[in-house]
Amino acid sequence: MKISFLGAARTVTGSCFYIETDRYRFIVDCGLFQGGKEQDALNDEPFAFNPGELDFALLTHAHIDHSGRIPKLYVDGFKGTIYATKATTELAAIMLPDSGHIQEFENEWVNRKRERAGLPPVKPIYTQQDAENCMEHFESVRYFEEVQINDQIRVRFNDAGHILGSSILELWVKEDDKEVKVVFTGDIGNNNMPILRDPTIIESADYLITESTYGNRTHMNVENKVERFVEIIISTMKKGGNIIIPSFAVGRTQEILYEIFKHREEYGDRLTQLMEIPVYVDSPLATSATMVFRNNLDCYDEEARSYIANGSNPLDFPGLHFTKTADESKALNASEGSKIIISASGMCDAGRIKHHLKHNLWRKDSSVVFVGYQAAGTLGRRLVDGAKKVRIFGEEITVESRIEMIEGFSGHADRDGILSWISKFSIKPRRIFLVHGEDEAIESFAGLIEENLNIETCIPGQGESFIVNEKGVFAAAGWKDARAATVVPYDYKRLQVVAMLDKIRDELEEASSILRDDLKKEKKDIEIEEMMKKLSKFERDLVELIR
């Protein structure tokens, strides 16, 4: 079979592997590229394969960087089935339409800008409706059961312990009576995560394709986290303030609820107060995702199951409320008494959380607890960095509340975690392909694998293809099949050049509109002179390039 690495190659987003056998074509994952203009531009590009010719698709988990381009697959002509676990399907049914909504919203903004520049409008990558429509093509499969997809291909979804429904795929492909087994880790979680099971140990593989997000890092010890969390809640309650937790919708919110539930059990006797504090989940997406968690109890680990067996559901305890309407959300800020409010977005740049911050940041008795990474430039990051004043809805607010950052559980296993997981294969893979990691992490991890496990590694570049069979791994150029004449890397590189040219065009348009608008002559003449010199050089280079 031939595997082409079309995303998450030397980067962490846009996961997509295109696989061709002598009879079938399919993909594993189809994620959105994220993180900046350049990555975003890749989402608009046509696929490097023809979606209409795909026989089926496999999805490891619901995160948008693995699933977010699935609706586009259908818009572009795919008609096949997507196989995923039941929990992944249910989470995708929430997350993909939400992503469609965001695409439409961002597209509107782009079109307003284009209109001003006299350009025709463009379509969003896909709409909320497109995303809703594509859900009909999902087929839920059970964990740990082999699924015979067709006469040549079998697959088994194993628990990856990363988010609810996440899977490590075992894939068997039989060509010319010879079977080759490839394992895809998807994103692989940590051992001992709240709610989730540990990643499944896989017995054997001919070839392994593993993520390497934390390939050069080990996670910090998180034991004190529980104590700190409880201390913040109790001391804030004593002062009569609120505890505001900005949180992402899927995974993190449910982990927090689980932690709160667990602490109630542990501290309940000593601190009846803690039992009384109401917890509000104030985010429609987080509420829907929590319902999916409640709906998939069979995915839980033993500890969470034992709670359920004893009659209590960690995601459904007395005092837990879900607010739906905007009015209910507003009412939270008008009501008396301490409460915990979990609300999105996790980085505070949008959503209902902004209202809660507006009403609590100025209060000395309230606390804001961050539990996830805060990207540069976000309101969350400014608060974590110690801003004394922030602007919310045009109003300047003095920060008087307690601001805390508790590093949450990471969804990804660290360097030692993946290494130890690989070391448990009883039949070792002949070659390990490293994906889903930044250059530094991935290269250091490759070295570590070779040194510690004595397995050959390969770091594929974006768009690179390899033949893997019972004899070994070969660069795609060696592929004898006639269909392999469509060499993916060069198609892809062409698309990249097109994207680069588009980007240059956009930048130039923007620069010229700035200059055209510069009627007040804010730019100095000398700057304009300088710009002209640089542009002449650019023009010469461009003419050369086009030639």
Binding site for Zn ion (CB under 5 A): 63, 187
Pick 199 or 489: Cβ nearer Zn ion: 199
Residue 100 CB, shortest distance to Zn ion, in Å, is: 19
Q: Going along 270-343, which residue ranges are E strands?
A: 279-282, 320-322, 340-343
Find residue 83's DSSP bridge partners.
58, 139
Cis peptide before 444 (omega within 30 of 0): no
Pick 67 or 242: Cβ nearer Zn ion: 67
Pick 14 or 124: Cβ nearer Zn ion: 14
- H runs (alpha helix) in 455-524: 488-516
Contact 181, 153 (CB under 8 A): no
What is the Cβ-side half-sphere exposure of residue 414, based on CA atoms within 13 angstroms?
10
Pick 187 or 404: Cβ nearer Zn ion: 187
Pick 248 or 492: Cβ nearer Zn ion: 248
Q: For 176-242, what is the HEC assignment?
A: CCEEEEEEECCCCCCCCCCCECCCCCCCECCEEEEECCECCCCCCCCHHHHHHHHHHHHHHHHHCCC
Residue 163 CB, shortest distance to Zn ion, in Å, is: 6
Residue in the structure block whose two tokens are 């469509």: 486
Residue 159 CB, shortest distance to Zn ion, in Å, is: 14
Contact residues for 421 (Cβ-Cβ < 8 A; gap 6+): 188, 199, 201, 413
Decide the pairing of beta strands 138-141 and 465-469. Answer: unpaired
Residue 211 CB, shortest distance to Zn ion, in Å, is: 8
Residue 190 CB, shortest distance to Zn ion, in Å, is: 13
Contact residues for 129 (Cβ-Cβ < 8 A; gap 6+): 100
Pick 243 or 413: Cβ nearer Zn ion: 413
- H runs (alpha helix) in 402-487: 415-423, 439-453
Contact 37, 510 (CB under 8 A): no
Pick 162 or 181: Cβ nearer Zn ion: 162
Closest to 344 measured CA to CA, from 237, 412, 250, 279:
250
Residue 166 CB, shortest distance to Zn ion, in Å, is: 7
Pick 10 or 61: Cβ nearer Zn ion: 61
Residue type at position 116: R
Decide the pairing of beta strands 279-282 and 340-343. Answer: parallel
Residue 256 CB, shortest distance to Zn ion, in Å, is: 18
Residue 167 CB, shortest distance to Zn ion, in Å, is: 11
Residue 185 CB, shortest distance to Zn ion, in Å, is: 11
Pick 32 or 131: Cβ nearer Zn ion: 32
